[in-house]
Structure 1
Amino acid sequence: MYRFLLLLTLGATFGLQSWRILFDNFSVQVIGLDGSHVGAIQSIREIPGFLALLVVYVTLILKEHRIASLSVVFLGIGVCATGWFPSFWGLALTTLAMSFGFHYFETVNQSLTLQYFDRATAPIVLGKLRSFGAATAIFASVLFFCAAPFLSFQGMYAISGIAICAVGIYSLLGDPTSGSAVPQHKKAIFRKRYWLFYFLTFMAGARRQIFVAFSVFLMVQRFHFSVQEIAVLFLFNNLVNYLISPLIGRAIVRFGEQRLLSLEYLSLIFIFIAYAFADSRVLVAVLYILDHIFFNFAMAIKTFFQKMAAPRDIAPSMAAGFTINHIAAVVLPFIGGLLWVVDYRIPFLGGAVMAGVSLLAVQQIPAELRRCEPGSAAE
């Protein structure tokens, strides 16, 4: 199962990074979009995440590992088609296709990880998958840095999409499942005792979308970063995350979720405020990297849930969590785009407030769930 998830993680990460590296420059330089357009497309991108709960019903027809493979294929199709439709509605349509593939893969990816690995091992596996994903993103950054002077946006999107589809199709040939996983509920699950997981997931989605929608757009529009400069930034960012992600997984095992999440939220308050008032290209690049480092701490929300959840609730709860994560994400980029027109600082200051609310909420983790997991997995 680990090798299967690793292969698909590499494919999905390459697809998302391809789309993200090219998106803002493609939007501004080729299509001529402004902040409100970009905010609207980012909201459209989150609709499949909002509909992630439907994956529970797809499992009535397909096994989770098959859904994961087909999702990566669909992701590749969306990326491949992006360059062929250089208009607002064309970009919205291809973004929707790409996003369905990515979000449905991520939903079942998290579910399979929590089902097949125990509480002392799951944070380590999540950290390793993030690390290898960062290595793939490094490759994507180098690839587009070298290809940008020679290939059109259409060519770069097409080559990336074909490669991603190949990974998804290859993974369909294997079956990584075993009898060790607990059979899952095949219906939507919402339980009152999971309220803190739902709330932290909701706030994480709301807060994260501020950065996803507007951080790179700020660099391109206000600081005039080129495709190659964005690629270099992504390269360095993912190199840092390749080295740090496994350490974060081990830190969750050693120090517990409550401490790691508190550190994340406290740090993000200052990062968002600094982003709102930054006047240096170097500073916004550093803040971008710091945000991604602390974003990796969010895997602790999933392992916190694993500690308290009934084993049969994992798959439907991961789907429910993805939907909850994207409730605000569907509307916030659009609203943020409108506020951007008034003052670009407003969305970032809103992100700082959200981080503060999350910091208060994570203090509600019950004392019995703050204990560190014993075992040698982190050694």
Structure 2
Amino acid sequence: MEQFKEKPMYTYLMVLVICASAGLQGWMALFTNFAKEVVGVNGFQIGVAQAVREIPGFLTFLVMYVLLVMKEHRLSAWSVVLLGIGIGATGFFPTFPGLLMVTVIMSIGFHYFETTNKSLTVQYFDLKDAPVVFARLRGYGALANITVGSIVWFLSYFIPYQLNFLLLGIFISLAGIYMLSKNPVQEHGLPPQNKLVLRRKYWLYYVLNFLSGARRQIFIVFAVFLLVEKYRLSVSTIAGIYVLNYILTYLTNRYISRAINVYGERVVLSLESASLFVLFLGYAFIENAWVAVILYVLDSIFFNFAIGLNTYLQKTADPGDLAQSTAIGFTINHISAVVIPLVGGSLWLLNWKLPFLIGACLTVISLYFTQKIRTQTR
């Protein structure tokens, strides 16, 4: 009967997820238009900016060393504070080098929070509850994104980018500072682990994370840039699309968690790969603005199927390996996340369809490896 709600860690993570999700969503809703209209970037530069944004994700293995001097739940809260600082500063640096600098600050906060968030979830919630908790937290994040997306959409008509970024950043940082006063830690039976774990038996989890990171970047970077550059959608329209995305995320996440519990990770992740293959081909060959918007909305729904990777690890890894393996998986996910924007940005200058065709190929490879998933209770 959802007894996991009684755990202090659930409430703690819920608040931080809401803050981090709202911060990233507000930043994303403003970033592409800000980069295009104020900074004046081209397709290659947007790829560089997004690659730089993912470098902190590639370095998330360093979390294990930070945890030598800081509790994991406190690192989560401090990460949200840093996320807010990076967001709030964005509008004050309307040059390409400045944009890269504040993007790195924001990204360190977000990626370190995401690593600790996933790690704490798989440590504090059992095999049956974890998919539900992941889905619920994403649902709460979606509600926060709906709210902040609506606010950004409204304020974009009245205030400049600089003030939009600043107000959002201040709110996120203050919320993170408040959560530093909370202590949700309970004994969960696992000794603290502060060493890296890279084991052969988790090879499939690593491969799937690598492919997931590559596909995710095509969605995050080039799908939205397609809407802004090719189809000339305004910042208010982009914000409205994000709001619609997160309404659907909130409504569908509960069914995703149920599907994982009933059908397993292999079925859910196979459906994700097959669907994204069709969507990427649609981006490349159907040149209609509103069809592209529909594809983007569907893309955002299937994006949430990736929680199956976290529950797959939880079902197959040794309990003492969970925190470290989560950090390693997040790092591997971001190896491709650093490379794809750079390669895709270069290819965009040749032909804007090429990044999406590469994405379609990656989904086929991912579908092949997904068939090797075998999950069972430890």
TM over 0.5, yes or no? yes
**1:126-183: CA deviation from partner (whole Å, max 9, x where unpaired):** 0000111111110011101110111100000000000000110010001101012412
Pick aligned residue for 1:306 from 300, 304, 314: 314
Asked if the contact 1:116/1:181 (under 8 Å) is kept, the reply is no
Instruction: Give the match for residue 353 of structure 1.
Output: 361
Q: Distance in 2 between matches of 1:184 and 1:252?
A: 29
Check 1:144–1:336 CA distance in 2 against 1; reply closer, same or farther (3 A cut): same
Instruction: Give the match for residue 14 of structure 2.
Output: 6
Instruction: Using the TM superposition, give the Cα deviation of residue 184 of structure 1 relative to its aligned residue in structure 2, in angstroms.
Output: 3.3
**Superposed, which structure 2 residues align to 1:37-76 within 5 Å?**
37-76=45-84
Pick aligned residue for 1:24 from 29, 32, 50: 32
Correspondence 1:208 to 2:216 = yes
Asked if the contact 1:189/1:320 (under 8 Å) is kept, the reply is yes
**1:280-328: CA deviation from partner (whole Å, max 9, x where unpaired):** 1111111111111111111001101101111111111111011100111
Amino acid at match of 2:333: N
Gaps of 5+ in 1: 374-379
Q: Distance in 1 between matches of 2:182 and 2:140?
A: 21
Q: Distance in 1 between matches of 2:323 and 2:251?
A: 29
Correspondence 1:363 to 2:342 = no
**Superposed, which structure 2 residues align to 1:73-222 within 5 Å?**
73-222=81-230
Asked if the contact 1:272/1:352 (under 8 Å) is kept, the reply is yes
Instruction: Give the match for residue 300 of structure 2.
Output: 292
Pick aligned residue for 2:241 from 226, 233, 242: 233
Q: Distance in 2 between matches of 1:19 and 1:43?
A: 16
Describe the SS at the equivalent of 1:83: helix
Q: Distance in 2 between matches of 1:186 and 1:31?
A: 41
Instruction: Say which is worse superposed, 248-257 or 72-81, in terms of deviation.
Output: 248-257
Identity %: 47
Instruction: Using the TM superposition, give the Cα deviation of residue 332 of structure 1 relative to its aligned residue in structure 2, in angstroms.
Output: 1.2
Instruction: Give the match for residue 343 of structure 1.
Output: 351
Asked if the contact 1:184/1:313 (under 8 Å) is kept, the reply is no
**1:33-54: CA deviation from partner (whole Å, max 9, x where unpaired):** 1001100000000000000000
Instruction: Give the match for residue 376 of structure 1.
Output: none
Q: Distance in 1 between matches of 2:320 and 2:188?
A: 13
Instruction: Give the match for residue 275 of structure 2.
Output: 267
Q: Distance in 2 between matches of 1:323 and 1:180?
A: 25
Describe the SS at the equivalent of 2:187: coil
Instruction: Using the TM superposition, give the Cα deviation of residue 365 of structure 1 relative to its aligned residue in structure 2, in angstroms.
Output: 1.4
Describe the SS at the equivalent of 2:92: coil
Describe the SS at the equivalent of 1:46: helix
What is the aligned-residue RMSD (CA, Å)? 1.1
Q: Distance in 1 between matches of 2:133 and 2:162?
A: 35
Amino acid at match of 1:105: F
Gaps of 5+ in 2: 1-8
4+ residue runs over 6 A deviation: none
Instruction: Using the TM superposition, give the Cα deviation of residue 350 of structure 1 relative to its aligned residue in structure 2, in angstroms.
Output: 0.2
Q: Distance in 2 between matches of 1:63 and 1:56?
A: 11
Describe the SS at the equivalent of 1:185: coil
Pick aligned residue for 1:316 from 324, 334, 337: 324
What TM-score, normalized to structure 2?
A: 0.96
Q: Distance in 2 between matches of 1:33 and 1:316?
A: 37
Asked if the contact 1:43/1:330 (under 8 Å) is kept, the reply is yes
Instruction: Say which is worse superposed, 276-285 or 236-245, in terms of deviation.
Output: 276-285
Q: Distance in 1 between matches of 2:272 and 2:301?
A: 9
Q: Distance in 2 between matches of 1:10 and 1:143?
A: 15
Q: Distance in 2 between matches of 1:298 and 1:332?
A: 18
Q: Distance in 2 between matches of 1:340 and 1:23?
A: 19
Q: Distance in 2 between matches of 1:87 and 1:313?
A: 43
Instruction: Using the TM superposition, give the Cα deviation of residue 75 of structure 1 relative to its aligned residue in structure 2, in angstroms.
Output: 0.2
Asked if the contact 1:184/1:316 (under 8 Å) is kept, the reply is no
